[in-house]
Amino acid sequence: MELLTPAEDLDRLGDEIAELSAHIEAATAPLLDLIREFDARGGWNTGFRSCAAWLGWRVGLDPGAARERVRVARALGTLPRLARALACGELSYAKVRALTRVATPETEERLLAVGRAGTAAHVERIVRGWRRVDRIAEAREDAQRHKGRALHVYQDEDGMVVVRGRLAPEVGAVLVQALAAARETLYQRSHEKNVSAETPPMEEPPTRAQQQADALALLAETALHHGIDPGTPGERYQVVVHVDAPVLADPDAPGQSVLEDGTHVSAETSRRLACDATRVVMRHSPDGRVVEVGARTRTIPPALRRALQHRDRGCRFPGCGLPFGQGHHLRHWAHGGPTTLSNLALLCRRHHRAVHEEGYQVEREPGGELRFRRPDGWLLPEVPPPAAIPADPVQALRARHEAQGLRIHPRTAMPGWLGEGLDVGYAIDVLHPLAAR
């Protein structure tokens, strides 16, 4: 048995720490590959808002760490050099996480050299400097684009009005959406008019450019009609749904389920909205006239809502827990379900929709626990089952890397830094393609 001096024993211990750390970093690369594939194929879309939310539930990561794992996994899909350096244990996950914030396929190679040469602290400082140059360049570009905005309206020789302009990207996106909505409205009006009059459609339908011109006219008329006033926030964001009582009780029953503007919505959507909303009951005569209008009431009274919020503390869907949500009737009030605390559960908007429109099921057990099931009937547990772990995970990890041909040793991830000071400004001037500008 070889006897080691205290200094030699500490060196050996340090080498073991460095080697095992490199093994762990190398094992992170295939983990990120799996996360990227799982995310791309939508494996998390089983009631969860995102792949990060699924990771938080299934793996136990906190939300910030889960979002970073997904971001880094996506970024490495286009950065093969950084991905390979991580897989070989040459770069730590901390370095790769920082570098992927700024790396592109064009700059990947020079940033990889930064990661190999410096410590994680050096890399973070370089990345912060790099992002500062990016922000300056972006601000300069945005200012230039904003300065270039213009709209010219003038009359041509034949009397037609010509419109020509350049809009900021976000303003242009709003205009495109508004034109599309106006164009669709005009198309529907024209189609309904032809159908009601039982007249054949026009021989030559308007071209897309002509439809755009008509849509712009409708936008202008609508703006002038409303005095270019979007209305109060309460009116602006209120959604009104007209739904017949039989439809609420049975989605297959005949009857209407429409928004204020006449747009049809599914019966299940109406049931979801009716779970927690202001309700006004109207009675109609056989010819459709309103004969009685009830008082406006809340489906869930304010006091009961406060009790529900206090009890559930957030969305009850497994792995969610958002602190705000909507009251869901486990047995809908249209089916005779009572509006009581025992028949209510708090769900966020995303998971309230999942329960109503996407086939997820929720029920309360006799002991008071909630049980959620996927559309295929599989139970969604509150806490996922633990993964199988080998008896000696460190040895299993080493054996796996040896089988892959990886040669990891205590100096695999050691940077090339020799202790000299870091001049961030000089480094950015040399590395960043835009720094010289």
Secondary structure (DSSP) of 185-245: HHHHHHHHHHHHHT-PPPSSPPPHHHHHHHHHHHHHHHHHHTTT----HHHHS---EEE-H
Is 235 domain-assigned? no
Is 233 domain-assigned? no
Q: Are 376 and 397 part of one and the same domain? A: no
Q: Are 309 and 331 part of one and the same domain? A: yes
Distances (CA, A) of 219 to 34, 192, 226: 48, 20, 11
Starting at the edge strand found earlier in the chain, the sheet holding 361-364 runs 361-364, 370-373, 379-380
Q: Are 84 and 52 part of one and the same domain? A: yes
Q: Are 399 and 376 part of one and the same domain? A: no
187 contacts: CB under 8 Å, gap ≥ 6: 211
Q: Which residue has the tokens 């590959």?
A: 33
Cα–Cα distance for residue pair 253/246, rounded to 1 Å: 6
Q: Are 273 and 219 part of one and the same domain? A: no
Helix (H, G, I), strand (E, B) or coil at 380: strand
Q: Are 173 and 111 part of one and the same domain? A: no
Domains held by the chain: number: 3
pLDDT at 192: 55
Q: Which sign does the torsion angle of CA 51, 52, 53, 55 carry? A: positive
Cβ pair 123, 114 in contact under 8 A: yes
Q: Which of 188, 203, 227 lies at the terminal end of a domain, its last residue?
A: 227
pLDDT at 421: 86
Q: Are 373 and 397 part of one and the same domain? A: no
Q: Which of 380, 404, 420 lies at the terminal end of a domain, its last residue?
A: 380
pLDDT at 79: 96
Name the phi and psi angles at 330, rounded to 5.
-60, -45
State which amino acid sits at residue 275.
C
Is 74 domain-assigned? yes
Q: Rounded to two decimals, what is the model's pTM?
A: 0.65
Q: Are 81 and 206 part of one and the same domain? A: no
CA angle 78, 415, 410 (to 5 degrees): 105
Q: Which residue has the tokens 């297959």?
A: 252
Q: 321, 335, 422, 406: which is closest to 49 by C-alpha?
A: 321
Question: Would you state the torsion angle of the CA atoms of residues 252, 254, 257, 262, taken in this order, to the nearest 10 degrees?
Answer: 140
Cβ neighbourhood burial of 225 (10 Å; 0-12, 13-18, 19+): exposed
Q: Are 132 and 204 part of one and the same domain? A: no
Q: Are 14 and 138 part of one and the same domain? A: yes
State which amino acid sits at residue 378.
W
Q: Are 20 and 119 part of one and the same domain? A: yes
Is 436 domain-assigned? no
Is 313 domain-assigned? yes
pLDDT at 433: 84
Is 413 domain-assigned? yes
Cα–Cα distance for residue pair 427/437, rounded to 1 Å: 15
pLDDT at 191: 56
Is 49 domain-assigned? yes
Q: Are 29 and 73 part of one and the same domain? A: yes
Cβ pair 59, 44 in contact under 8 A: no
Is 119 domain-assigned? yes
Cα–Cα distance for residue pair 437/434, rounded to 1 Å: 5
Q: Which domain holds residue 195?
A: 162-227
pLDDT at 235: 45
Q: Which segments of the chain have a pLDDT < 50?
A: 231-237
